[in-house]
Chains A and B, each alone.
Chain A
Amino acid sequence: MNFELNEEQSALAGSLARLLGEHYSFEKRRALVASGTAHDERAWRGLAELGVTALPLPEAHGGFGGGACDLAPVMQALGRALSLEPFLPSSVLGAKALQHADDAVQARVLPAIAAGDARLAWAHDETAGRHAPWWIETRASQKDGQWRLNGAKSTVLAAGLAKHVVVSARTHGAPPDADGCALFLLDAQAAGAELRTFRLVDDSPAGELLLRNAVAQPLTDPSDSARARAAIAAVLNTGIAAACSDMVGAAQAAFDLAMDYVRTRKQFGRFIGENQALRHRAADMLVSLEMARSMAMAAAVAAENPDAEDARADLHRAKLCVGRHARLVAQGAIQLHGGIGMTEEYAVGHCLRRIHVMDQLFGDSDAHAARLAEAL
């Protein structure tokens, strides 16, 4: 058993914290959002130079072969800074899916992703499915030797920044069957691929993808649905672990802000942190933060060894637990701030917004509670 970062992980986390401190102070982030640009190109270049964009990619294609445990401190740092960079959809989700593709496809796409020169998006969720992982209505059909996609994909993170989009679609069967699913690589500019971009409630860029006879390339053999299923499951597992670490980072940021605030803010002639009611809330928040931190570790370990005995249950437990506890921390932090915590111009509210988004991705707390109940 070991809960410490190794030397490389610590070193990278330190460099990343410096980079984000430089480019992602809350003021800079606000200015970035106000400017209307989806993300900070300089910060993104910095991530590429640090090797972060290459971290989870295979070594054969320009990456460092990092696993979920290497990713955890990175996601935590990005969550803590409330980063808007498209790292999760591109280097984590999209790249994970591509690792299940044929080598030639990987060789063509992944080096540019590793270098940060191009980006991937992951288009899997559909409105009708909500949190059901295999609810894929989007159809893939073959005509004149070409595969064409029809359907709609919701909440595609950083879709407008992607060169290619990995799309899950169904060649046969019907939801909620996992059987009949396949993965395709779609050129973001392809005819018939219509993208409506927007910002999520945490200001991160996203989009909705409408597919009308859009030509796409199979990522894996469409008749081999077991392989596609394994690929999708791997992406979702990695996504769960990444979201958990991101939430821990955002919860830590909210916690730190709140502790600073109660130590410095005076009311009725004394620091508000002297009031026992507020002190006890702070203690409750610490308990929640530590529980969340523990389960984010469990999720990383489980995503890295998905066939281990406790892995499946631990992923459900983690998404359930971290979502609930990180939310409690952020809500408590807003409460400790009072009115200022409710404002757009103050960071603590953005932590809750971030946590809410991450809770809703890859199955929310309720969905994972239900699936854990099934699994037990």
Chain B
Amino acid sequence: MNLDLTPGQRAFRDEVRAFIAARLPADIRDWLRLGNPPRKQDTVTWQRILNERGWAAPHWPRQYGGADLGQMERLILLDEIYRAPAPLPQVFNVGMLGPVLLTYGTPAQRDHFLPRLANLDIWFCQGFSEPGSGSDLASLRTVARRDGDHYVVNGQKIWTTTAHLADWVFALVRTDADARKQEGISFLMIDLRSPGITIRPIHSIDGEHHLNEVFFDEVRVPVANLVGQENKGWDCAKFLLGNERTGIANVGLCRERLDHARGLAARRTQAGRPLADDPKLRTEFALLDAEIRALEITNWRFLLTDSEQKRLPAFASVLKLKGVELQQDINALLARLAGPDGLERRPSTDKVHGPLTPRYFYSRAASIYGGTSEVQKDILAKAIVG
């Protein structure tokens, strides 16, 4: 047993750290450090810088702009990005659609889309959820009927994060109404400039605009934008949802936010004494620190176990459950640290903290998206109880 990075991994970490220190624009770093979500331009700017090294899509093959990194190197890169803090590579492009195209896409689709996804020349969003189909994804009702070289799409998607910023959406649509639930679904890439698409904002609990409804009214999509086979889109969806494991625990994010909380507690005072003097608060920091370490090692254990037999079934659900719990606990702690000063709806240019209270509200989404915590527990229970 040992928990050390190899000399090669250590060198890689130092290389990443030096690269970020040299290239991450300070205004982006400070903006994120205060607790703001990245602006679109921040993500684009930073992803293009990372892309110079193949680090925007580090797990992709080099021929498509990736860096062919192994699990451990990917994790190191991700942790350093969180630690900076810098924006993550755009997840719909890089973590979701890219791997689907690498596995199911045609050569033409790969050649056209992958470099653009990596460089964020086009911004994809994900059109999976629909009104009435949340965790039960396969009950979706948006339909696509074949008309010559096109599909004609009608229906509605909801909770579509960043649709208002996006150029394209990848969506699950029903192409065979008579087939069983999971069959008869297809995976389409749809240009959001197509006639018949309406995007309406959903303002979320933090008062901000991240989410949207997307309506499709007789939207014509070239058949060339079908990924995989017609009626086999569920395979792509399952692959996509099961594929992104490296970042699922969000260890680096938890650690960066906890460090920020500690810093805040040291700088902010209550009745003339630093908040950090409170033993109860210090104990809370210690508990969270220990839990983050346990999650980190659990993440390593699961990612680095090479044999499927030795690997715990449904381990991704363990990581998501615990990671989400910690993120939410830390966000709640940050809102408490912000205190009455954190109540202002849009904090001014105060450099002590950003919108920590709204971020706390929005953190409640973490146990809902990507499979609710209850769904994760169902998955785990299936694996251990049967």
Chain A residues engaging chain B, CB cutoff 8 angstroms? 1-5, 69, 72, 259, 262-263, 273, 276, 279-280, 282-284, 286-287, 290-295, 297-298, 300-301, 310, 313-314, 316-318, 320-321, 325, 369-370, 372-373, 376
- Give the residue of A3, A72, A259, A284 whose beta carbon is less than 8 angstroms from that of B304: A3
CB neighbours of A276 from chain B (8 A): 378, 381
Contact of B377 among A262, A283, A314 (CB under 8 A): A283
Whether A321 and B294, one on each chain, are in contact in the complex, defined by CB atoms closer than 8 angstroms, is: yes
Q: Known pairs A284-B377, A286-B380, A298-B297; list 20 more (Cβ under 8 Å).
A: A1-B2, A5-B1, A259-B384, A262-B385, A263-B386, A273-B385, A283-B376, A283-B377, A286-B318, A287-B321, A295-B294, A297-B301, A301-B3, A313-B293, A316-B286, A320-B286, A325-B294, A372-B290, A376-B285, A376-B286
- Chain A residue at minimal CB-CB distance from B377: A283
Q: How far apart sit A292 and B290, CA to CA, in the bound complex (Å)?
A: 11
Prevailing SS type, chain A contact patch: helix
Q: A276-B378, A283-B321 are in contact. Are A72 and B1 (CB under 8 A)?
A: yes
Chain B residues with CB under 8 Å of A295's CB are 290, 293-294, 297
CB contact under 8 A between A317 and B385, given known A276-B378, A280-B374? no
Q: Are A291 and B381 in contact (CB under 8 A)?
A: no
Instruction: Among A290, A301, A376, point to the contact of B318 (Cβ < 8 A).
Output: A290
The CA of A333 and the CA of B323, in the complex, are separated in Å by 23
Contacting pair A317 B293 (CB below 8 A): yes
User: With the chains together, A281 CA to B23 CA distance in Å?
Assistant: 46
Q: How large is the interface on B (under 10, 10 to 19, 20 to 34, 35 or more residues)?
A: 35 or more
Residues of chain B in range 301-320 having any CB-CB distance to chain A below 8 Å: 301, 304-305, 310, 312, 315, 317-318
Tell me the total A-B contact number using a CB cutoff of 8 A: 129
Q: In the complex, what distance in Å separates the CA atom of A282 from the CA atom of B317?
A: 13
B1 touches A2 (CB 8 A): yes
Residue of A nearest to B295 (CB): A291
A369 with B5, Cβ < 8 A, contacts A283-B376, A286-B380 known = no
A5 to B1, CA, bound (A): 7
Q: A301 touches which one: B2, B262, B298 (CB < 8 A)?
A: B2
Residues of B within 8 A of A298 (CB): 3, 293-294, 297
- Given A283-B321, A294-B294, A301-B2, A369 and B381 contact (CB-CB distance below 8 Å): no
Question: For A316, what are the chain B residues with a Cβ–Cβ distance below 8 Å?
Answer: 286, 290
Residue B322 is within 8 A (CB to CB) of chain A in the complex: yes
Q: Does B272 contact A (CB under 8 A)?
A: no
Identify the closest chain B residue to A317 (Cβ): B290
Q: Is the CB of B378 within 8 A of A317?
A: no
Q: How far is the CB of B372 from chain A (nearest CB, A)?
A: 12
- With A295-B293, A369-B283 given, is the CB distance from A300 to B321 under 8 Å? no
Min CB gap A290→B, angstroms: 5
Q: Give bound CA distance, A2 to B293, whole Å.
A: 16
B300 at the interface (CB under 8 A from A): yes
Q: Which of B55-71 contact A (CB under 8 A)?
A: none
Cα(A263)–Cα(B279), bound, Å:
44
Q: Determine the distance from Cα of A2 to Cα of B9 in the docked complex, in whole angstroms.
A: 13
